[in-house]
């Protein structure tokens, strides 16, 4: 199988972290892809009309895209057990929360990188950060007991989301006022799957 990827993408990272947790690193080839919100994806367009990453080219069918679709497929394909049926709706909701944090953080990054300075909107950036801030509060009020349980895909996605906020928006200091979440993140960040998938220096 081939995964079209960019190492700075948090959505790619969660897929590759799953691969590490499943012990199947040798079963997936990483194919570099250059994509942005203002250009068409290069090699990905042959497999994904959206020209986005991650895109998975599999041997037994057409390409899959969207990180949640790819993660569910790989988990089922390898019987990795990261989507346990006994708490599947919690896992999926936590993963969706993590993906929402990623979406907001990526949009903040895009605003600075791709929009001309005279067209940038601080109101837009603050609105995206508001989504992240509310999610951080919700994680501590609702999700800490789940985070203390057995590793699942929701936890992996959240770790990748928080790491991306550090990577691109470290000056926001998301840990302030979120000590329990920061303590959890410090532990999961030390896992081999997270250490092996760190993005390149900004």
Strand bridging mode 64-65 / 2-5? unpaired
Which ranges in the chain are annotated with CATH 3.40.30.10? 2-78
Please give the structure tokens belonging to residue 159. 């770790």
CATH 3.50.30.40 for domain 85-192 = no
Q: How many CA atoms lie within 13 A of 90 on its CB side?
A: 17
Please give the structure tokens belonging to residue 87. 């708490």
Please give the structure tokens belonging to residue 79. 């019987």
Residue 113: the pLDDT is 85
Global pTM? 0.95
Separation of alpha carbons 36 and 48, rounded Å: 14
Separation of alpha carbons 154 and 95, rounded Å: 4
Which ranges in the chain are annotated with CATH 1.20.1050.10? 85-192
Please state the length of the chain. 202
Please give the structure tokens belonging to residue 46. 């042959």
Q: pLDDT tens digits, the chain, 202 residues: what are they?
A: 999 999 899 999 999 999 999 999 999 999 998 877 777 656 788 888 888 899 999 988 999 999 999 999 999 999 999 999 999 999 999 999 999 999 999 999 999 888 888 999 999 999 999 999 999 999 999 999 999 999 999 999 999 999 999 999 999 999 999 999 999 999 999 999 999 999 987 5
Fold of 2-78: Glutaredoxin (3.40.30)
Residue 41: the pLDDT is 57
Contact yes or no for 47/4 (Cβ under 8 A): yes
Q: How many CA atoms lie within 13 A of 21 on its CB side?
A: 26
Contact yes or no for 58/1 (Cβ under 8 A): yes
State the Rg of the chain over Cα.
Answer: 17
Other C-beta atoms lying within 10 Å of the C-beta of residue 110: 14
Residue 40: the pLDDT is 60
Residue 202: the pLDDT is 56
């Amino acid at each position: 199988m081939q995964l079209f990827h960019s190492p700075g993408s948090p959505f790619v990272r969660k897929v590759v972290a799953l691969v590490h947790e499943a012990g199947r690193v040798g079963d997936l080839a990483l194919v570099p892809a250059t994509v942005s919100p203002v250009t068409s994806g290069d090699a990905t367009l042959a497999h994904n009309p959206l020209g986005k990453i991650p895109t998975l080219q599999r041997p037994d069918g057409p390409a899959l895209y969207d990180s949640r679709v790819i993660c569910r497929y790989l988990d089922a394909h390898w019987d990795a057990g990261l989507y346990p049926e006994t708490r599947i709706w919690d896992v999926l909701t936590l993963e969706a929360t993590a993906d929402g944090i990623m979406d907001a953080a990526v949009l903040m990054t895009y605003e600075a990188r791709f929009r001309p300075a005279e067209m940038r909107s601080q109101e837009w950036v603050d609105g995206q950060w508001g989504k992240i801030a509310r999610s951080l509060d919700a994680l501590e009020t609702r999700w800490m007991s789940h985070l203390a349980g057995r590793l699942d895909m929701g936890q992996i996605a959240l770790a990748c989301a928080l790491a991306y906020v550090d990577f691109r928006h470290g000056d926001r200091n998301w840990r302030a006022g979120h000590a329990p979440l920061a303590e959890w993140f410090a532990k999961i960040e030390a896992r081999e799957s997270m250490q092996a998938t760190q993005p390149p220096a900004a």
